[in-house]
Chains A and B, each alone.
Chain A
Amino acid sequence: MNKKKMTLHLKIWRQANAQAPGRFVLYTVKDLSPDMSFLEMLDVLNEELTKKGELPVEFDSDCREGICGTCGFVINGVAHGPRRGRTVCQLYLRDFQDGQTVTLEPFRAKAFPVIKDLVVDRSAFDRIMAAGGYISVDTGSAPDANSILIPKEVAEAAFDAAACIGCGACVAACPNASASLFVSAKIAHLALLPQGQPERHRRVLKMVAQMDKENFGNCSNHGECEAVCPKNISIKYIALMRRDYLRALLAK
């Protein structure tokens, strides 16, 4: 246990709702333990604010163990903060310096309107999933687990893509606010498996169309998405999505 206490200066984006203009507000939080998580630190700040009769800073979180994809905002210009392969809920104060000023901004994209403070509406992702991010199966008894054999490498590649938790950091980090990494991960994990084949072409066409409709930007291969992705999803899936898209277009 690190005994030394630390102080952080926070520059936090406060915005009452989607229509209201936002602005940065400065807060100083003292007596923090370096072993605290970043979100716990915000909990401390919010308790102080509540005691003072002020509105707490809204931010999203749920599991707080890096698996649900609920949390996420931008810390000093980097989505999910300074550590690679982590969500913001898995970030600890020891990654910051005592007395440091830290800027907190919501994920900024037209497709992710701010609901309040650091909370954004990511339902655009749900609509992309609804457009084709599934396989159609008839109901009935579950098929035997080993009736479709899948080579280990294939299963692993599909799983790597399926590890996407839909947090939206890729969109936030992309200079173009593109959702390509998320969409390609969702396309790839089904495209790599036998169960995904029947709807493979239809799926990529529909999901890309929905992505465009949601006002996400195009992909310029900056690769910043892969760098901030808490699940280290590779842009190789974006290449796969492009190949699949072209194939589907030519087959049409």
Chain B
Amino acid sequence: MALWPRSSVAKKFLNGLTGVGLTLFIIVHLAGNLLLLTGNPDDFNRYAHKLESLGPLLWLAEIGLALFFIVHIFSALSVYVDKLRARPVRYAVSGNAGGASRKTISSQTMIVTGLVLLLFVPWHVASLKFGPGVEEGYVAIVDGLLVRDLHSWVIEYFQNPVHVALYVLVMLLLGLHLRHGVWSMIQTLGAYHPRLTPLWYTGGVVFALVMAVGFLVIPIWIYVNGAKI
């Protein structure tokens, strides 16, 4: 791949850039998911149907998204491999200097939380997006149209406590990933400001919490309320 950069700065830049894209994606994703909680199954099914009917446009977006994931993963792996190579002998005692340090559990586990998400995404897509649809009888009538009843499948899916527990766990790890990731990608893109950087450093923590809670509340809510919704 001639396009793949060799320098550390450029590789990290790709990581930050794709991080921004993926962050924007999960914001939209969460907004869409919250339609599951409106009390009217039509809302979520209509949204899902609209997305599906975009056809080639949706595929294009999905390919783009997949590319962002791939570049994010490979650039992250390169940072990790460089790190292993750069310090072959580890410290016996490891400390945190405090003060200006932004070294946290989150910043030190990015590769782990990232890899968990990497395992999660295919499972998630396979079981929900590519889960049972019209052929399997999951149909609903929305605005006079016969559409896939994804809402029912999601509700059914989260009646399984194992699914709920795993989703909650992964979403907590997503929060941990975002806690460092959000401010870090801004710094990686070269944006530093004496007043704004502390703002998005703290903002990143809040954002991570909102995202994690937003995503994990949905399966819990569905499970607790049973088939009522």
In the complex, whether A249 has a CB less than 8 A from a CB of chain B is: yes
Flag if A176 contacts B102 (CB, 8 Å): no
User: Does B8 contact A108, Cβ atoms closer than 8 Å?
Assistant: no
Give the dominant DSSP class at A's interface.
mixed
* CB neighbours of B102 from chain A (8 A): 221-224
A-B contact pairs, 22 of them (CB 8 A): A77-B91, A176-B82, A177-B86, A216-B86, A217-B79, A217-B82, A217-B86, A218-B82, A220-B107, A220-B110, A221-B102, A221-B107, A221-B187, A222-B101, A222-B103, A223-B100, A223-B102, A239-B187, A242-B13, A242-B190, A245-B7, A245-B10
* Contact for A242 among B82, B85, B188, CB less than 8 A: B188
- Interface residue? B216 (CB, 8 A): no
Q: Tell me which residues across on chain B come within 8 A of A249, comparing CB atoms.
A: 10
Q: Mark A176-211, 1 if CB is under 8 A from B, else 0.
A: 111000000000000000000000000000001101
Q: Once the chains are docked, how many angstroms separate the CA of A111 from the CA of B82? A: 12
Q: Does B89 contact A (CB under 8 A)?
A: yes
B55 at the interface (CB under 8 A from A): no
Chain B 149-185, CB-CB to A under 8 Å as 1, else 0, gives 0000000000000000000000000000000100110
The answer, among B10, B92, B183, for a CB contact under 8 Å with A24, is B92
Tell me the complex Cα distance, A239–B102, Å. Answer: 15
The count of chain A contact residues (Cβ–Cβ below 8 Å) is 49
Report how far A238 CA is from B180 CA in the complex, Å: 17
Q: Are B187 and A84 in contact (CB under 8 A)?
A: no
Query: What chain A residues lie within 8 Å of B96 (beta carbons)?
Result: 77-78, 224, 227
Given A216-B8, A224-B101, 13 more pairs with CB closer than 8 A: A74-B91, A77-B91, A109-B86, A177-B86, A220-B12, A220-B184, A221-B183, A222-B108, A223-B102, A227-B100, A227-B103, A242-B190, A246-B9
A24 and B89 CA atoms in complex are apart in Å by 14
The 6 closest A-B pairs by CB, nearest first: A77-B95, A217-B86, A239-B192, A223-B102, A243-B190, A227-B97
A219: interface (CB < 8 Å): yes
A10: chain B residues at CB < 8 Å are none
Residues in A whose Cβ lies below 8 Å from that of B86:
109-111, 176-178, 215-217
A230-252 vs B, CB cutoff 8 Å, 1 = contact: the mask equals 00101110111111011001000
A223 to B104, CA, bound (A): 10
Residues on A with C-beta less than 8 A from B91 are 74, 77, 105, 108
A249 to B: closest C-beta gap in Å: 7
Q: Indicate the member of B93, B108, B194 with the most A CB atoms within 10 Å.
A: B93
B228 on interface, CB distance cutoff 8 Å: no
Which residues of chain A are within 8 angstroms of B187 by Cβ–Cβ distance? 221, 235, 238-239
For B108-146 the 0/1 string (1 means CB < 8 A from A) is 101000000000000000000000000000000000000
- Give chain B nearest CB distance to A13 CB in angstroms: 8
The answer to whether A103 has its CB under 8 Å from any CB of chain B is yes
Alpha-carbon gap, A226 to B189, bound state (A): 18
Q: How far is it, in angstroms, between the C-alpha of A239 and the C-alpha of B100 when the chains are bound?
A: 15
Let me know if A50 is at the binding interface, CB within 8 A.
no
Q: In this assembly, does B98 line the interface, its C-beta being within 8 Å of a C-beta of chain A?
A: yes
Tell me if A175 and B188 are in contact (CB < 8 A).
Answer: no
